[in-house]
Amino acid sequence: MTTYTFPSVTPTTSTFELITNTKKFQSPLSGAVQTADRKGARWRVTMSFKNLSGVNRALMQSFLAKLNGQEHRFYLQDHSYTKRGAGSGTIDVKGASQTGSTLLCDGAAFAVTNILREGDYIAFNNELHMVTTDASSDGSGNVTLTIAPPIRKPTNDNDLIDTDVPVLGVFMLGSKAAWSNSVGLFSDFSIEAIEDVLA
């Protein structure tokens, strides 16, 4: 398996969806509902590319062909993402074996208010996450991030956290990746991608 870089072609439209792995249990007697969260939440992306021709058309066709269905993986960003946080540079994971929806970090610039804002993306451990609460660094460069989805694999101490655009996740093709051709050598592409939870 090889992990490729997605072609530098911007989709006409894209839809990001967080697929949670929750289960609902409802009592047949009282109707009370209980939910349970299980690991494995991931991102699903649907992209369309309209009227591609020339180099961009060839790049997309070649890229989809070399993925060989779901055999290979690729790095993908949210093309509509604009970072809101004030921070730049490196942030590191602080401590091994972290799980859940809170990530302890260090190595950030000292005392930066809103170093990352809710809605900002981060990536580490081959996982793509969204910050869900504004976060500021303290006087020692420590930051606590609240993120979604929850961490899937336990962290390694001092792993680098990617916060600079583009923030990339590791994806695989979903159920659909095709193109249609029209007169004049124009093609429309439709691609569904799922984040690889085992990357």
Residue type (1 letter), 116: L
Domain covering 91-161 in this structure, CATH number: 2.40.30.290
Query: What is the per-residue pLDDT across 55-111, written as a single tens digit (0 to 9) for each?
Result: 999 999 999 999 999 999 999 999 999 999 987 777 999 999 999 999 999 999 999
Separation of CA 23 from chain center: 22
Average pLDDT, the chain: 92
Whole-Å CA distances, 151 to 111, 116, 144, 177: 26, 18, 14, 28
> Dihedral of CA 59/64/65/71: which sign?
positive
Which DSSP state fits 62?
H
Q: What is the mean pLDDT of residues 27-46?
A: 84
Domain chopping of the chain, boundaries: 3-79+168-195, 91-161
pLDDT band at 39 (very low <50, low <70, confident <90, very high): confident
- At 106, list the tokens: 């260090």
- Please choose, from the candidates 73, 77, 75, 59, the residue with its C-alpha nearest in 3D space to the C-alpha of residue 179: 59
Residue whose tokens read 């790095």: 75
Query: What is the per-residue pLDDT across 100-159, written as a single tens digit (0 to 9) for each?
Result: 999 999 999 999 999 999 999 999 999 999 999 999 999 999 999 999 999 999 999 999
- Please choose, from the candidates 174, 191, 199, the residue with its C-alpha nearest in 3D space to the C-alpha of residue 19: 174
- Percentages of the chain per state (helix, strand, coil), in multiples of 5: 5, 45, 45
pLDDT band at 21 (very low <50, low <70, confident <90, very high): confident
